[in-house]
Every structure is written in structure tokens, then in C-alpha cells.
Amino acid sequence: MTTNSPATHEYAVIGGGIIGAAVARELTLKHPDAHVTLFEKEASLSAHQTGHNSGVVHQGLYYEPGSLKATLCRRGVELLSAFCAERSLPYDECGKVVVAQNPVEEERLEGIFAKSVANGVPDVRLIDRAELADVEPGAVGTRALHSPHTAIIDYPAVTRALAADVVAAGGEVRLSSGVQRLEDRSDGVDVRFEDGTAQRFDFAVVCAGLQSDRIARASGQPAYPAIVPFFGQYVIIDRAHEDAVRGLVYPVPDPAYPFLGVHITRRIDGGLMVGPNAFLSFSREGYHGLGLDVGDTLKTAANPGFWKFALQNLPTAAQQLGGVVSAQRFVTDASRFVPALAGAQGHRATRGIRAQAMWKNGSLVDDFVIQHGGHATYVRNAPSPGATSSMAIAEHIVAQATEQHGLDTRRLTAAGDH
């Protein structure tokens, strides 16, 4: 085992997605005399959720006021947009409409608008059919919520820029370095790698996404929340129809399943896509073909919370199966909101896999979950708007860790040892 010099303050961040990169950068900013190492098990950054999402910068329309999601999403937008401007990274405020098509959806839209206002979403407003025609001529509905500042972005590019700042500050990014578990010690934490080696750090943050619960459990942390993977598929619309909308067109979400419903989403490369669905994934990292991993499937089956959830949601699963089988089903659903898409062709994009955290009773975890244990902090749940909120999540974690783990005190002690 490699042991670092006690005079050097060493921090580790596990997970090279956008949240891990943001946390590593924040540590270098708040603790400039520390040495920060970002570990990623793959050969490149953004290999999982960060590199397989919709690319939308969310504004905080749907989240419960006062929740971490609501608070960190709004702060995250500010930080992310400023960072992109500073680094000349693509950031397109194409805007978004959430479209109602019946009285039930109109009533739900009122609730979303109330949350949006409470969360401080700028310039959000309810619009009628005529105003919808002005804002998004291709969309049809009886009423809509307009969020003009909703944006699209290249999240992998942002992740690379965040990681570059870590290196520029004297830190390291170590790829192909899978972490198995953390072992807490009286004076720090040992990070144990999949190759059998270990390294001592003063403090570590685990931002492992789809593997977050496994590393936490192996490190002696609570078993729940546990990750149940759901895959989401998108269809890239043919170029002849990619100008059917100006921005983003979303349905009014069902409160029970807010991440469902086919969305029509502009891409930062100029293309247009529809999706996603949400269906149980038989692998945490299987993006092609059947995506079957026997080990992952058996572990999901061994989770009692999953069976409770599944039995309560069989009708919804059956409905989602249509989109799994037929890409054209996506286009048909989308054409209800944008009739010009009727008859459009498309091809499937590489699927994404959502790390959906679940409690033991089968209920889905609605908010971000960040747990502290020993000389480490574990991000246990950070789904959408996790990417949007990444830099704010990093601020939150580092501020909490500085206080709860006494990082400032230990830093000054280490400096005094020189």
C-alpha cells in the first residue's frame, strides 16, 4: 500500500462523471494547498450517465420547493452558464414549453407553475393556445408553461473542462482506475482499487453514479438507498424533420412518474431527438444489444424493494414496453404534440441508463442523497437534474465536508508540519 506524506493534504474523488469532476475542481478551489486526485474506472471521462443524457440544462420547474434538487438546480444553472461563458463552451438557451392537452393536464400545469415561481425560475409563465403558437408554432395544446431560459449543452465537454482545471491546479486525473471500496482509518481513508492496490488519503468523495451503492456498501455504509437501473432510449429524427420545433417540447408529467413521457429535445449539434422511455435495465452499464448482465440482474432481483415497486407498477411497465419494441412508437407519441413529426423517420441513439435510487420499501428516492461516513462523503442519489446541478452539488459537498470533516483544521495542521 502507498502511504502519502503526512505533510501533504491528499483528497480523492471517485467517479469521472460531471459531478465527480465538479467536486474535484471545487476541492482545488477551496483548498488550494491540497493535492486532489480524480479516479475514473473507464479509459475516458463521462463514460456513463454524463455521456448518455439529453443534454438539457434544467431550470427547476418540477422540484419540491426547499428540496436539495430545487435549491441546487437553481444555483447549478448560474454556475454552469457562467462556466460555459468563461470557457467558450456551447450553451444554447433554446427555451422549453410544457404542453397540456386536456383539463387534467392543465390543472397539473398550474401546480408546476407554482413550484417554478417558488423555486425562482426566471421569466417562467403560463401561456394560452395563441401564445403557444407564437412561442412554438409547431406544438399543439390547450395551454402551456414557457421556460425561455431552459438550455442545451455538451455535458462531456463541460466535464473535460472541469477536469482540466483540476490538473491545472496541480491535481491528477487517473483513468482506468476502478475503486472497489474505502476503508476508514483513524487518520484518513484507504482507497482500495480493483487491482488489489491501495492508497491513503485524508478525505474522499464517492461520486460513482450507477455503482454508488455498491462502493458504499462495500465501504461499510448503509445498504439503502440501493440503485435499480432503468434504461432510457432516444430516437434521433431524420434531418428533413429536425426543424419541426424551435426549442424543447415536453408533456405534462404524471406526478407518480415524473421522468416518463416522450420529450422532443433539440441537441447541441443541431439535431432533434424524441424520448426517453424508462424500463428496467438488465445491466448497469450495458448500452448495446440486450444489455444483459447476469450479475446485475440477479442483484436487482435480490432487492426486496424492487419487487414491491414492480408489483405496484405493472401497468406502467406494460405501457413503456411499446417504446422498447418500436422506435416508431416514440415518433407517434411525439406527433401528438408536434403534428409535423407524423411520418418522420429516425434511428435509435445509444441508450442511457439512469441510476434510480430506491428505498427498501420500494419507493423511489425523490431528492438528492448525500451521506457522510468516517473520512468520506458518498453521493448516493443524484439523478436529473444532477448534471445541471453538478457545480452546485460540488459547492454543497465541499462546504459540508469542510465543516463536518474538519478539512480546514487538518489543512492548517498539515501546513504547520512543514
Q: Where are the domains of the chain?
A: 10-49+156-225+367-416, 91-151+229-358
Identify which has the larger pLDDT, 23 or 187.
Answer: 23
Task: Give the pLDDT confidence score for residue 70 in this predicted structure.
Answer: 97
Task: Give the pLDDT confidence score for residue 318 in this predicted structure.
Answer: 44
Identify which has the larger pLDDT, 97 or 305.
Answer: 97
CA neighbor of 275 nearest in space, from 288, 262, 289: 262
- State whether residue 45 is helix, strand or coil: coil
Lookup: cell for 295: 450479475
Please, which pLDDT band fits residue 309 given cuts at 50, 70 and 90?
Answer: low
What is the per-residue pLDDT across 318-341, written as a single tens digit (0 to 9) for each?
A: 454 454 445 677 788 899 999 999
Interacting residues of 74 by C-beta distance below 8 A, sequence separation 6+: 59, 60, 119, 120, 121, 392
CA distance 7 to 172: 18
Q: Around Cβ 43, how many Cβ atoms within 10 Å?
A: 8
Model confidence at 411: pLDDT above 50:
no
CA neighbor of 150 nearest in space, from 105, 232, 85, 91: 91
CA distance 351 to 330: 14
How confident is the model over 371-387, as a mean pLDDT? 95
How confident is the model over 373-389, as a mean pLDDT? 95
In contact, 25 and 161? CB cutoff 8 Å:
no
Model confidence at 303: pLDDT above 80:
no
If phi > 0 it is left, if psi is from -120 to 50 it is alpha, else beta; for residue 416 that is: alpha
The one-character DSSP state at 387 is T
How confident is the model over 41-60, as a mean pLDDT? 95
Q: Around Cβ 194, how many Cβ atoms within 10 Å?
A: 12
% of the chain residues with pLDDT over 70 = 88
Peptide linkage before 383 cis (omega within 30 of 0): no
CA distance 303 to 298: 9
Q: Which of 57-61, 259-263, 266-270, 369-373 has the lowest mean pLDDT?
A: 259-263
Identify which has the larger pLDDT, 150 or 411.
Answer: 150
Q: How would you class 287 by CB atoms within 10 Å of its CB: exposed for 0-12, middle for 13-18, buried for 19 or more?
A: middle
In contact, 396 and 223? CB cutoff 8 Å:
no
Superfamily of domain 10-49+156-225+367-416: FAD/NAD(P)-binding domain (3.50.50.60)
Helix spans in 219-293 (H): none
Lookup: cell for 71: 435549491
What is the per-residue pLDDT across 99-147, written as a single tens digit (0 to 9) for each?
A: 999 999 999 999 999 999 999 999 999 999 999 999 999 999 999 999 9
Please, which pLDDT band fits residue 4 given cuts at 50, 70 and 90?
Answer: very low
Task: Give the pLDDT confidence score for residue 408 in this predicted structure.
Answer: 63
Lookup: cell for 127: 401561456
Peptide linkage before 225 cis (omega within 30 of 0): yes
Q: What are phi and psi of 68, to 5 degrees?
A: -60, -40
In this structure, are strands 352-358 and 226-232 parallel, antiparallel, or unpaired?
antiparallel
Interacting residues of 146 by C-beta distance below 8 A, sequence separation 6+: 95, 96, 97, 124, 125, 126, 127, 131, 132, 135
Identify which has the larger pLDDT, 230 or 189.
Answer: 189
Q: Around Cβ 114, how many Cβ atoms within 10 Å?
A: 11
Task: Give the pLDDT confidence score for residue 308 in this predicted structure.
Answer: 67
- State whether residue 284 is helix, strand or coil: coil
Superfamily of domain 91-151+229-358: D-Amino Acid Oxidase, subunit A, domain 2 (3.30.9.10)
Task: Give the pLDDT confidence score for residue 313 in this predicted structure.
Answer: 56
Model confidence at 160: pLDDT above 60:
yes
Model confidence at 417: pLDDT above 50:
no
The mean pLDDT of the chain is: 89
The one-character DSSP state at 358 is E
